[in-house]
């Protein structure tokens, strides 16, 4: 059995983890059935170059020069600043694992060593994944909070709004300057659609969801370079307390279920928009929200070069035989057009 030399352990750790594929194990460490943030990082992320923040322009109005005219009519010209700048800072997070150069493991076989390191690395990555999921479904409470601006930050609830819903998702609590530094008090069009609901029925929740999807699907009559990604592409994220009765509602309208007693399990759609069960919301939000996220305008942004970046082993302070390996991640969630998204919550 070959033994690693003391001065070769750090190089072994740095170069071997990604190459070794043989070991597998069962993981029962995670609380939730699925983690939406992990899928978004794989499928929806936008890589952005460096800088302290992400900025984009928001056109808030037009100049109002159009009119009906006739022969020899006088022109009505006007020049006005119709743009404001939105910006959000990067949010940074980290996870880590450690090892001691004097651990007996270094006298073991290569397979045993790599198995241990893989497990420690996996635990660190899972820690970051759990934190990311929590922050995706949370909102920072003040401008000094360095947490990511999750979906509940951009999509503000208003369960007492106009029956059926309205664009009343205003500024987040603790952010008088508004989302991205654009105040919905100054610019009412910078508000998301919000509605309250009380029953998962055709005449209540389904009707309100239909209206929310229609009212937030904006199409410009004049094409322009748009800070967005393709066409409207909605998903509705909610709790099992919402999806299960809606599945039963769909089953009650189908006379051809045959032997399948749960034909629409995880398959319910509203106007073609899929509904997704979010375990984190199930456990942490008693208002049973339905977040209608339009991926055209809502994306996770990742800072280039800092997407789950694993560093080299570093000596631990005051522990000269201990090495720390850090995983650093820089991201932010950005909604480039709030009024193309919606949220419903129990009234």
Domain of 279 in residue numbering reads as 156-297+336-346
Average pLDDT value for residue range 8-20: 56
Residues comprising the chain, all counted: 347
The number of domains in the chain is 1
pLDDT reported for residue 239: 97
Higher pLDDT, 108 or 319: 319
Residue 12 has pLDDT above 70, yes or no: no
The answer as to whether 227 is a domain residue is: yes
The answer as to whether 178 is a domain residue is: yes
pLDDT reported for residue 106: 75
Angstrom distance (rounded) from CA 79 to CA 277: 49
From 336, 19, 9, 344, select the one nearest 180 (Cα to Cα). 336
The answer as to whether 179 is a domain residue is: yes
Q: How many CB atoms lie within 10 A of CB 143?
A: 12
Instruction: Report the b/e string of 2-19 with b at 16+ CB within 10 A.
Output: eebeeeebbebbeeeeee
Give the distance from CA 197 to its chain's centroid. Answer: 24
pLDDT reported for residue 9: 55
What is the DSSP secondary structure assignment for residue 32, as one 8-state letter? S
Tell whether pTM > 0.75: yes
The answer as to whether 109 is a domain residue is: no
The answer as to whether 257 is a domain residue is: yes
The answer as to whether 170 is a domain residue is: yes
The answer as to whether 181 is a domain residue is: yes
pLDDT reported for residue 265: 83
Average pLDDT value for residue range 194-222: 94
The answer as to whether 124 is a domain residue is: no
Angstrom distance (rounded) from CA 332 to CA 40: 12
Angstrom distance (rounded) from CA 70 to CA 67: 10
Angstrom distance (rounded) from CA 327 to CA 304: 14
Query: What string of DSSP letters covers 199-231?
Result: -SSIIIIIHHHHHHHHHT----SS----SS-SS
Least confident of 14-18, 159-163, 191-195: 14-18
Note the pLDDT tens digit of each residue in 191-200: 999 999 999 9
Please give the mean pLDDT across all residues of the chain: 88
């Amino acid at each position: 059995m070959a033994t690693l030399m003391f001065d070769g352990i750090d190089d072994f750790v740095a170069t071997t983890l990604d190459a070794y594929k043989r070991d597998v194990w069962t993981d029962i460490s995670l609380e939730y059935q699925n983690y939406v943030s992990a899928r978004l990082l794989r499928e929806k992320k936008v890589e952005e170059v460096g800088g302290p923040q992400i900025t984009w322009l928001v056109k808030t109005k037009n100049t109002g020069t159009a009119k009906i005219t006739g022969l020899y009519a006088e022109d009505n010209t006007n020049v006005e600043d119709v743009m404001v700048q939105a910006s959000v800072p990067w949010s940074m997070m980290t996870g880590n694992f450690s090892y001691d150069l004097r651990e007996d493991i270094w006298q073991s076989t290569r397979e045993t060593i790599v198995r241990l390191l893989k497990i420690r690395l996996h635990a660190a990555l899972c820690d970051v994944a759990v934190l990311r999921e929590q922050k995706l479904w949370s909102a920072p409470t003040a401008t000094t909070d360095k947490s990511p601006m999750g979906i509940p930050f951009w999509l503000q609830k208003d369960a007492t709004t106009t029956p059926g819903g309205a664009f009343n998702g205003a500024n987040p609590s603790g952010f008088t300057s508004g989302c991205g530094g654009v105040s919905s008090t100054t610019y009412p069009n910078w508000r998301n659609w919000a509605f309250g609901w009380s029953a998962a029925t055709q005449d209540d929740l389904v009707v309100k969801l239909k209206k929310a999807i229609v009212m937030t699907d904006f199409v410009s009559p004049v094409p322009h370079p748009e800070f967005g990604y393709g066409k409207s592409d909605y998903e509705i994220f909610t709790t099992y307390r919402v999806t299960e009765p809606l599945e039963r509602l769909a089953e009650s309208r189908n006379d051809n279920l045959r032997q399948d007693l749960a034909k629409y399990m995880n398959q319910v759609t509203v106007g073609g928009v899929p509904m997704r069960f979010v375990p984190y919301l199930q456990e942490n939000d008693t208002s049973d929200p339905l977040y209608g996220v339009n991926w055209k305008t809502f994306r996770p942004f990742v800072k280039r070069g800092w997407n789950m970046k694993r560093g080299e082993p570093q000596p631990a302070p005051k522990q000269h035989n201990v090495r720390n390996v850090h995983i650093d991640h820089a991201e932010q969630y950005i909604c480039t057009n709030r009024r193309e998204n919606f949220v419903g919550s129990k009234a």
